[in-house]
Chains A and B, each alone.
Chain A
Amino acid sequence: MMSCLRAVNVRKLYHAGRPDETCALDQVSVTIDAGEVVVLAGPSGSGKTTLLSLLGCMARPTSGEVFLGERSVGRLQEHFLARLRREHFGFVFQQYQLLGGLSVLDNVMLPLYPAGMALSKIRLRAEELLDRFELRDKKHKTIAQLSGGEQQRVAISRALIADPRVLIADEPTAHLDQELAGRLLAHLAELKAEGKTILIASHDPSVINAGLIDRQVLLRHGQLETGER
Chain B
Amino acid sequence: MQRPVNLLEFTLGSLWRRKYKHLALILVYALIVATLGSVLFLTTALKHEATVSLVDAPEIVVQRIVAGRHDLTPVSAAALIEKFPGVAAVTPRVWGYYYDSLIRANLTLIGLSGQHQHLDLLEGRLPEQATECAIGQGVAEAFGPGLGDLLVLENSAKQRAEYRITGLFRAESNLLTNDLVVMSDAAIRQFFSIADSLATDLAVRVRNPREIGTIAKKISYNLPRSRPITRDEIMHTYDTLFNWRSGMLLAVSVAALIAFCILAWDRATGLNAEEKREIGVLKAIGWETSDILGIKFWEGLVISVTAFLLGVIAAWLHVFVLGAPALTPLLKGWSVLFPEFRLTAVIDYYQLLVLAVLSIVPYLVCTLVPSWKAAVTDPEQILRGE
Q: Could you tell me which A residues sit within 8 Å of B by CB distance? A: 14, 50, 53, 58-60, 78-79, 82-83, 85-87, 89, 91, 93, 97-102, 106, 110-111, 113-119, 122, 158-159, 162
Contacts and interface: CB of A to CB of B under 8 A. Distances in A.
Contacts of A116: 2-3, 6
Given A78-B288, A93-B284, A113 B380 contact: no
A87 B285 CA distance: 9
Given A102-B13, A113-B7, A114-B291, A93 B383 contact: yes
A58 B379 contact: yes
A127 B277 CA distance: 26
B67 to A, nearest CB: 76
B285 A91 contact: yes
Given A113-B7, A119-B9, A82 B2 contact: no
Contacts of B9: 113, 119
Contacts of B383: 93, 97
A88 B290 CA distance: 20
- Which of B5, B280, B282, B286: most chain A CB closer than 10 A? B286
Contacts of A59: 378-381
12 contacts: A59-B380, A60-B378, A78-B378, A82-B289, A83-B286, A85-B284, A93-B281, A101-B17, A110-B282, A111-B285, A115-B3, A158-B285
B376 interface: yes
Contacts of A101: 17-18
B358 to A, nearest CB: 32
Contacts of B288: 78-79, 82-83, 114
Size category, B interface: 20 to 34
A193 B133 CA distance: 100
Interface string B268-301: 0000001001101111111111110000000000
Given A58-B284, A83-B286, A114 B3 contact: yes
Given A58-B380, A97-B281, A117 B2 contact: yes
A116 B288 CA distance: 13
B289 A78 contact: yes
B286 A85 contact: yes
A99 B381 contact: no
A145 B132 CA distance: 80
A213 B289 CA distance: 35
A99 B379 CA distance: 15
A99 B281 contact: yes
B84 interface: no
Contacts of A119: 2, 5-6, 9
B10 interface: yes
Contact of A114 (B7, B18, B284, B386): B7
A113 B10 contact: yes
A82 B278 contact: no
A106 B9 CA distance: 11
Nearest to B280: A97
Contact of A102 (B2, B17, B274, B290): B17
A86 B286 contact: yes
A113 B6 contact: yes
Given A82-B288, A162-B286, A118 B2 contact: yes
